Amino acid sequence: MKTITVNASKTYDVVIGNGILPEIGSRCRELSAAKTVALISDSNVAPLYAKNVEDSLTGAGFRVVSFVFPAGEQSKNADVYLQILAFLAENQLGRKDLIVALGGGVCGDMAGFAAATYLRGIDFVQVPTSLLAMVDSSVGGKTAIDLPQGKNLVGAFHQPILVLCDMALLETLPQENFLDGCGEIVKYGVLGDRNLLKLLTETKICFPREDVIARCVEMKRDVVNADEFEGGLRMLLNLGHTLGHAVEKCSHFSLSHGACVAIGLAVVTRGAVKKGYCSAEDGKAILSAISALGLPSETAIGMDDLMDSMLNDKKRTSGSITCVVPYGIGDCRRETMTLMEVRNFMEAGM
């Protein structure tokens, strides 16, 4: 078992282990004087794990009320968010009470946003159940819901008081969702850990989970500690995402997020090598890790469509796009480029 402490505006532990879900009650008890816990989960995860969590919380003396929403990104919307707030109010949750988010990034983001805003903010705990949530979304306090106009357009920074990450839960995670997490893991490798990329290339999909998850959480912790409110450094976590999001949209979401991030990483890597920013050796190490995990590195979608899609990305400031460019493993830089420069750079990497 590993414990990683995040020192953001709130200090909290990320506990990573195998089979630690039954500890949720006692660990919450140590941190919270809540009478009631609202357990929020989705329709895939709740039937598998909610009872375990409820029993553990009840055993620790909490009253538990449960809210389950239909699984999937389409639920991360204002309607479901308001239903959660109404549920909290109907069940008379008070200032000192607690929300536990049991699920992937969708659940964590939405339950976290409910926690950030209900009664101007109550405590919440993340129990990530997807690999992506374990390595990325459960840590760092970004919470959000989507609008019809775009993803994550409404949200708040609100740190959890605990993240409990039980790797045993990954046993039931569908393969495609597992690969989503792998895309983010490669991203962390490129951002700062040559050994992580080497390990992924050698061990492929059988990588040692506890070590790899912990390494990613440490790296995310370092970024969040340095730039909690995304003044600059934290934007490096968008590596591979500018093009990745465009591929995701152009594929009408038929390609998974992780696959699209992998394509985005591969394109910026090849582009950076061709332009002479990144060494061929580092480029090869990045592309090898992507292919070792069985992630795609190419897309047949045309540059015109991808550019159109990128122009609608919220990270654009008029006339230019900020991309993260790998100058090497551990040396990624944000660069604001004109639309022509972006096109030119991406085309070099296609």
The footprint of ligand NAD (CB under 6 A) covers 42, 44-45, 48, 71-73, 76, 103-107, 109, 129-130, 132-133, 136-137, 140, 142, 151-152, 169, 172-173, 177, 180
Closest approach, Cβ 319 to ligand NAD, in A, equals 26
Q: Is 220 a catalytic residue?
A: yes
Amino acid at 228: E
Helix (H, G, I), strand (E, B) or coil at 347: helix
Q: Which is nearer to ligand NAD, 107 or 329 (CB)?
A: 107
- Reading the block at residue 129, the tokens are 């159940």
Is 158 noted as a catalytic residue in this protein?
Answer: no
Of 61, 49, 50, 60, residue with least CA distance to 23: 60
CB of 180 or CB of 228, closer to ligand NAD: 180
Residue 142 falls in the annotated catalytic set = yes
Tell me how far, at minimum, the Cβ of 32 lies from ligand NAD, in Å: 22
- The single residue of 30, 90, 120, 252 carrying the catalytic annotation is 120
Catalytic residue among 215, 245, 249, 270: 245
Q: Which is nearer to ligand NAD, 113 or 118 (CB)?
A: 113
At residue 255's C-alpha, the angle toward residues 220 and 242, to 5°, is: 50
Whether 315 is catalytic is: no
- β partners of residue 64: 37
Structure tokens at 102: 């049991």
3-state DSSP call for residue 36? strand
Q: Which two tokens stand for residue 36?
A: 């009631």
Q: Which is nearer to ligand NAD, 41 or 201 (CB)?
A: 41
Judge contact between 38 and 99, C-beta under 8 A: yes
Return the number of the residue (45 or 267) whose C-beta is nearest ligand NAD: 45
Q: How far is the CB of 48 from ligand NAD (least distance, A)?
A: 6
245 is catalytic: yes
- Min dist. Cβ of residue 244 to ligand NAD (A): 11
Q: Which is nearer to ligand NAD, 42 or 282 (CB)?
A: 42
Q: Could you tell me which of 246, 249, 126, 259 has the C-alpha nearest to residue 187?
A: 259
Residue 241 a catalytic site member: yes
Shortest Å distance, C-beta 208 to ligand NAD = 19
Q: Which two tokens stand for residue 178?
A: 């597992």
CA distance 73 to 65: 23
Distance from the Cα of residue 349 to its chain's centroid: 25
Residue (108 or 283) nearer to ligand NAD, CB: 108
DSSP string, 252-293: TT-S-HHHHHHHHHHHHHHHHHHTTSS-HHHHHHHHHHHHHT
Judge whether 230 counts as a catalytic residue. yes
Catalytic residue among 23, 73, 230, 341: 230
- Whether 234 is catalytic is yes
Nearest distance, CB of residue 35 and ligand NAD, angstroms: 28
The residue from 241, 248, 249, 270 that is catalytic is: 241
DSSP state of 169: G
Which residue in 54, 76, 177, 184 is the catalytic one?
Answer: 184
Q: Annotated catalytic residue: which of 76, 187, 220, 270? A: 220
Closest CA to 120 of 173, 171, 158, 79: 158
Count Cα atoms within 13 angstroms, Cβ side, for 196: 26
Shortest separation between residue 109's beta carbon and ligand NAD, angstroms: 5
Element (DSSP H or E) covering residue 78: helix 78-90
Catalytic, out of 142, 158, 187, 215: 142
Backbone angles phi, psi at 23, to 5 degrees: -80, -5
Which amino acids are annotated catalytic? 120, 142, 184, 220, 230, 234, 238, 241, 245, 257
